[in-house]
Chain A
Amino acid sequence: AQTVTQSQPEMSVQEAETVTLSCTYDTSESDYYLFWYKQPPSRQMILVIRQEAYKQQNATENRFSVNFQKAAKSFSLKISDSQLGDAAMYFCAYRSADGNEKLTFGTGTRLTIIP
């Protein structure tokens, strides 16, 4: 079974600075997808970024980018120019590419933005 580990329960960053959230996972599969979701106090789960395991190029979405290290099974999220609206819980998630759409989530990292 796949597992996802987020070793940082809480992180904080100064507004406009850069922060990196860590995620590692364990799988025996070669093809899969990795995600970062953001959950603000509104409870809405918002997709931040997605990475296909077969792609070597790291995904980027505006101020959000990932460092995907397949051999190390590491998938960190970098947030540049942090904004107050980035404050939320961030969940790393894994999904197999075998047709099973189930997401396996990490335990989350609470990100605080310091004005």
Chain B
Amino acid sequence: SAVISQKPSRDICQRGTSLTIQCQVDSQVTMMFWYRQQPGQSLTLIATANQGSEATYESGFVIDKFPISRPNLTFSTLTVSNMSPEDSSIYLCSVQNQANEKLFFGSGTQLSVL
């Protein structure tokens, strides 16, 4: 299985500020995924991050609000920009193990916006 380190584990932020979440994997992976889990809800895919190209965003999510970087095959960041209380959620990164096609998740970032 892939070992995924996600930082920070939690943060409390002020409205209007931005937070960058980091995701580090212990092996090279082609695609990394960013999910959002709003309070009491299921997971929703924000975007897919491929190394060397722009991220692909799902309907309802835009690059200006959730810019993503993917500088290499083991690392990605997700920024939540100009935050509002509605952005309070758990954000999770995920990677696929190429050998067995299983998806693994980081431990998530609990974001609270005041």
The tally of residues in A whose CB lies under 8 Å from a CB in B reads 19
B contact patch SS: strand
A47 within 8 A of B: yes
Binary contact track A26-70/B, C-beta < 8 Å → 1, others 0: 000000010101000011111100100000000000000000000
List chain A residues, Cβ under 8 A from B94: 45, 103
Contact, CB under 8 Å: B102 / A50:
yes
**What separation, in Å, do the CA atoms of A14 and B45 have in the docked complex?**
34
Interface members, chain A 74-96 (any B CB < 8 Å) = 91, 95
Listed in ascending order, the chain B residues whose CB lies under 8 Å from chain A are 31, 33, 41-45, 48, 58, 90, 92, 94, 96, 101-105, 107-108, 110
Listed in ascending order, the chain A residues whose CB lies under 8 Å from chain B are 33, 35, 37, 42-47, 50, 91, 95, 101-103, 105-108
**19 CB-based A-B contacts, threshold 8 Å:** A43-B90, A43-B92, A43-B107, A44-B107, A44-B108, A45-B43, A45-B92, A45-B94, A45-B108, A47-B102, A91-B42, A101-B31, A101-B48, A101-B96, A102-B48, A102-B58, A103-B43, A107-B42, A108-B42
